[in-house]
Amino acid sequence: MSVTRIDDIQMAYTDQGLGRPVVLIHGYPFNRSLWNEQVAVLSSSYRVVTPDLRGFGETDPSPGPATMNRMADDVARLMDHLGISQAVIGGLSMGGYVALAFCKQFPSRVRALVLADTRAQADTEEAKQTRAQQAEKALSEGMAGIADAMLPKLLTPETVSKRPEVVKRVRDMMLKTRPEGAASALLGMAEREDQTPLLSQIASPTLILAGSDDAITPVADSEKMHNAIAGSRLVVIENAGHVSNLERTDEFNQNLIDFLRNAGA
């Protein structure tokens, strides 16, 4: 793990392997260890950078909403620090929101794009209110209640009942998240803009991965992105929920590797 100063925070990240850079951005309320299995296979051919986003893992939180634009800017600043001008940018769920914000702000720095279990639309008014309530709950009660409520939405019922090691992994990541970091990200996600108009302007090769049973960002959200991003590839990973890279690691990795090869990345 390495750390660098980005504006007001110390940002933690890993930078592993040699080759063309691939930046993988974790979702909420996780940390860079979400990508351990992807780093393990990709780093023999690529330089894989996995940041802990603002307020997550070992990166400092900051007061107020951690907006997707701010997090995208943090990623760009981290790339500057590492001497990376252009990279494959991949994100899962909130990481996908950050990846889309990155595409909008820094299109020339995106060599190829990977959007996993995510969506382009903004929150509905109802979802914004729920985010605000969840932020208060995280601050007043800590992460245990949030983790319990989220788990059944993150994983398929089969994974919940038969794969205790995956359940533990996901739960532990959530419990390690600092409530201030989670609250800031919730408020930041609630503020995020609708990126639907951006989709038709994306010129980078794009892979969209979706768990067939994703209860948080349903396959229909991925289909919308696929229809709007010219030349994009959509892969639905069967028997996977929202955290498809952990539930169906082999399929996820194989699709990622094939895409990177075909995209010449």
Binding site for ligand MLT (CB under 6 A): 27-28, 93-94, 189, 216, 242
Compute the least distance from the CB of residue 189 to ligand MLT, in Å: 6
Task: Return the structure tokens found at 197.
Answer: 């108009």
Q: Rounded distance, CA 265 to CA 257, Å?
A: 10
Q: Which one, 112 or 116, has the nearer CB to ligand MLT?
A: 116
Compute the least distance from the CB of residue 100 to ligand MLT, in Å: 12
Compute the least distance from the CB of residue 131 to ligand MLT, in Å: 8
Q: Rounded distance, CA 49 to CA 78, Å?
A: 9
The answer to whether 229 touches 206, Cβ cutoff 8 Å, is yes
Q: Which one, 244 or 255, has the nearer CB to ligand MLT?
A: 244
Which of 208, 28, 26 has its CA nearest to residue 36? 26
Q: Rounded distance, CA 229 to CA 241, Å?
A: 23
Q: Which one, 189 or 208, has the nearer CB to ligand MLT?
A: 189
Q: Which one, 94 or 147, has the nearer CB to ligand MLT?
A: 94
Compute the least distance from the CB of residue 136 to ligand MLT, in Å: 16
Q: Rounded distance, CA 184 to CA 147, Å?
A: 16
The answer to whether 21 touches 88, Cβ cutoff 8 Å, is yes
Q: Which one, 205 or 241, has the nearer CB to ligand MLT?
A: 241
Q: Rounded distance, CA 120 to CA 264, Å?
A: 25
Q: Which one, 81 or 128, has the nearer CB to ligand MLT?
A: 128
Compute the least distance from the CB of residue 151 to ligand MLT, in Å: 12
Q: Rounded distance, CA 163 to CA 161, Å?
A: 6
Q: Which one, 93 or 222, has the nearer CB to ligand MLT?
A: 93
Q: Rounded distance, CA 65 to CA 60, Å?
A: 14
The answer to whether 234 touches 206, Cβ cutoff 8 Å, is no
| Contact residues for 245 (Cβ-Cβ < 8 A; gap 6+) | 34, 35, 37, 38, 92, 116, 209, 252, 253
Compute the least distance from the CB of residue 108 to ligand MLT, in Å: 26
Compute the least distance from the CB of residue 29 to ligand MLT, in Å: 8
